[in-house]
Every structure is written in C-alpha cells, then in structure tokens.
A and B are shown apart, each in its own frame.
Chain A
C-alpha cells in the first residue's frame, strides 16, 4: 500500500466531483485504502469526513489572503489541527443530531452554511437525508477520532488531486462551485 495517490488514481478521480472523490477514497473504491477492508470507512463515515474536510478548509483556506481572516488561518499547522479537533469534539458533545452539529461547528469555527460551495451544499442536503440516522454511530469517541484522522489524510489527498489538475480545470472547479 502506498502512502499517497498513484497517477492512475488521480486521473480516475479527476473526472468525479470532490464529494464523490472523498467517498471513493475513504470507502476504498479507489486510492490507497482500496483492497484493505479493515481500513475502509463506511459511506456515512466517509461523508462525515468530507464534511470535516469542508469545515477545515473554511476555517483555514488555501488562499493566503483569505486565510488571514479565518479562525485557524494564522496558527501553525499542528496547532491548527489540534484546535480544529478540539472544536469538533466540543461541537459533537453539544449537538443532538447531524444538522445541529454543522451549526454548532460553524459557531466554533466562525463560518455559516451559506459559505459552503454550491456543490457542497447540495451534497450536504442529500447526505443529511440519507445518513441522519448515523449520528449516534458517528459521535462515538473512537469513531470520531478515526474520522478526524481520516479528514486530515483526506485533506492531503484532495490537495494532491488538486495539484494534478491543469490550472484551467482548477479554476473551473472553483468558479463553478463557489456561491
């Protein structure tokens, strides 16, 4: 098993929207987790990890100018990760369901749901409809830690795929999906 994505993985995943990429990577349909059932996540967990990835990117955007205005933007990477994890845990402990969790996390990371990219917002609604019942499994401490770890790895993989895009493909994805 490789640490990162192979060229073939990147080419395969480039054709998919980011939400589907994340789910494919974490459920082991593609990428380094493929073929290792013990490491693969369920669809509900994979979606939750993508949600954490989206929240992370809102709290710590890639654009340096934008980053300065955000909660975790000025922190060193390790500290930012630790703070993000602490806020996710706090939001989980205060939330009664998935919908509530997104709001609670937004309060702690200073974002609102309308800041989600259009594609992410649509995906979030469909995810909520399909997996609202998974909340009690997702909020278990061991599972939550695994999702936080997966979100960090997912961020790395998504960055690798993004670097594999041609500049105009990247711009199209950003422009096409931003609100």
Chain B
C-alpha cells in the first residue's frame, strides 16, 4: 500500500480532478489504476519539470486515482475542516472567500449571511479581478447576482481546498485528517504517539506537493516511525523526538534564540538557569543538529509565549 492509496482510501475514494477511465498502471506509483485515473497531461508543466524524473513508469498515460487525487487543487475537505473554513469565511471581518464543490467541480465563491437570509448562506461566483468590492455578497441585495447556497451545516461538507495547503494524515483503519500549519499541537500529538496501525503523514510548506512522496509508517509497536517532512523522509523514534523537542524548548525557555539553537553558537548569559539548560539540553541538541529529525523537532516545538504560559 502506498501513502497516496492509504490517504485516498481513508477519504472514501473520491473522484480526482480531471478523472478519466484508465486500466493501465500508474505513471507515478506504478500500481494498477483499477479503472479510474487522471490523465497526466492535465498536470501542470511545473510538476513535470520538478518531479517527472521520479515517476515509476514515465511511459504511462495516466496516474491512478489516488496519486491524481493528492495532486488536486479542489479536494473536498473533511467536514470538520470545512465547517471551520466556512465559519472563518462567514466571520464579519472576513472577505468571505471560500472554495466549494456543489457537484460539478470546485469553484471559488464569496459567501455571506446577509439580512435577507438570516439562517442561510448566499454566494456569488468569484471571478478574480472582475468582481468589484461593492458587488460583494454582503452588500448585494440583487438576487440576480447572488445564489442561495443553503444553510451552512450541509455546505460545510462541500468546502474544498488545495491538497498541498494541508498536512495530510491517514491511517489504514480509515482515519483521515487534513491539518493546517496552525495545528502543530495535533501534529505533535500524532508524531509523538503514532497510531498502532499503518499510517501516513506528510508535512509540507503549503506550496510544494508532499503527500505524493509520502511513506507509509509501520505501526507504533514495530519501532521506528516514518514521516514526510518538507522535502525529506524522516525516520524517527517518538521517544527520541520527544526528548529533542523538550531539549530545544528548554534552551528557548532559558533565553536562547532560535538561530542560536539552530547554529549551536550561544551568546554567554549570566545566571544559573542558562548554565543548567545548556549543560542538560545542549548535548542532546548538539547530537541531533543537522539531521532531518532536528528540523522536524524545531518545526514542532511550541512557541515561546506558550512555553512561558505553561512554565
């Protein structure tokens, strides 16, 4: 099982963007496409230029549905994520922009709850650059320019997003989560206490595709775990990662800057707390510095304000 298949299966085998009938093997992973695929010509040329050489079967016509789906820009998100994005778009200080899929593919809309529809959401198609501010849905009273989309609850299950904007997590048992960069606490929780079944997690920068390079990690009980993190596959032990995060946080809490922790050159500080932090945490951090696990731990560490609040 590949990481893309694990994600796709956990998400309920959705139809990818640009889907076509395809019975051959996948251009990317090389596995049989099971009748549904995505024409590889529908992928942007930038994808080819960057990663075309990594394809398993460069001669194949199409990608399997799973690999094609993880490259989509209009993936229907889990309902909880959709509800959050929709609520953010409907907030009074928001610009109302959200992507939806009402059955005929993803499109961008500007949504709102104007006075005429106190319990529902109305929307207008977004054509970038062509909708002046005064036509936004909150101000638009003309029903000809707006569309009643319905109450927010069912709409939450139709919110879409670019796959690469999220950190995709799935397990063989069918758990599927799309996490944002702001959900580091959840990422930390997953990585420090991984599921005891095959799972996959790809942490990207929001711009590049990561999930398609993802690896399936063995269950927690089988030892070292695997995660795709910003361009590299990281093999780690949850215990060691927890220890490293604690050491980094200890140094930061004692007054070190992130650049000092990264580079290992510390400005000497007076006071015993600093000496203690450096003597206790310094060797642990020094041991891992420069390794992929170190980058992951730096990414997962809590912000200083939170550390001080919890200390």
A interface vs B, CB < 8 Å?
Answer: 1-3, 32, 38-39, 78, 81-82, 84-86, 89, 141-142, 145-146, 148-153, 155-156
Contact = CB atoms under 8 A, between A and B. Distances in A.
B279 A146 contact: yes
A83 to B, nearest CB: 9
B275 A153 contact: yes
B273 A149 contact: no
A148 B256 CA distance: 14
29 contacts: A1-B272, A2-B272, A3-B273, A38-B279, A39-B275, A39-B279, A39-B280, A78-B267, A82-B267, A85-B265, A89-B265, A141-B286, A142-B282, A142-B286, A145-B265, A145-B278, A145-B282, A146-B278, A146-B279, A146-B282, A149-B268, A149-B274, A149-B278, A151-B268, A152-B269, A152-B274, A153-B271, A155-B270, A156-B270
A158 to B, nearest CB: 11
B283 interface: yes
B266 A145 contact: yes
A159 to B, nearest CB: 9
Contacts of B13: none
B135 interface: no
Nearest to B269: A152
Categorize the interface residue count of chain B. Answer: 10 to 19
Contacts of A146: 278-279, 282
A78 B266 CA distance: 12
B264 interface: yes
Interface in B273-296: 273-276, 278-280, 282-283, 286
A151 B268 CA distance: 8
Nearest to B274: A149
Nearest to B283: A142
A156 to B, nearest CB: 5
A38 B280 CA distance: 8
Contacts of B283: 142
- The dominant DSSP class at the A interface is helix
Contact of B264 (A2, A38, A145): A145
Contacts, number: 61
A148 B266 contact: yes
Nearest to A78: B267
Given A38-B279, A142-B283, A81 B267 contact: yes
Best-buried of B268, B271, B275, B282 by chain A (most CB within 10 Å): B268
Q: Nearest 5 pairs between A and B by C-beta?
A: A152-B268, A82-B267, A142-B286, A156-B270, A148-B268
Contacts of B267: 78, 81-82, 85
Contacts of B272: 1-3, 32, 153
Given A85-B265, A148-B266, A149-B269, A39 B276 contact: yes
Contacts of B270: 152-153, 155-156
Contacts of A141: 264, 286
B212 to A, nearest CB: 38
Nearest to A2: B272
A33 to B, nearest CB: 8
Best-buried of A81, A85, A152 by chain B (most CB within 10 Å): A152
Nearest to A36: B276
A45 B269 CA distance: 18
A82 B256 CA distance: 12
A108 to B, nearest CB: 16
A156 B139 CA distance: 66
B279 to A, nearest CB: 5
Given A39-B279, A149-B274, 6 more contacts: A2-B272, A3-B272, A78-B267, A145-B282, A148-B268, A149-B275
A150 B282 contact: no
Contacts of B286: 141-142
Best-buried of B266, B276, B280, B286 by chain A (most CB within 10 Å): B276
Nearest to B272: A3
Best-buried of B265, B272, B286 by chain A (most CB within 10 Å): B272
Contacts of A1: 272
A89 B278 CA distance: 17
A145 B264 CA distance: 8
A149 B271 CA distance: 9
B266 A149 contact: yes
Contacts of B265: 85-86, 89, 145
A31 to B, nearest CB: 10
Contact of B269 (A2, A38, A81, A86): A81
A86 B260 CA distance: 13
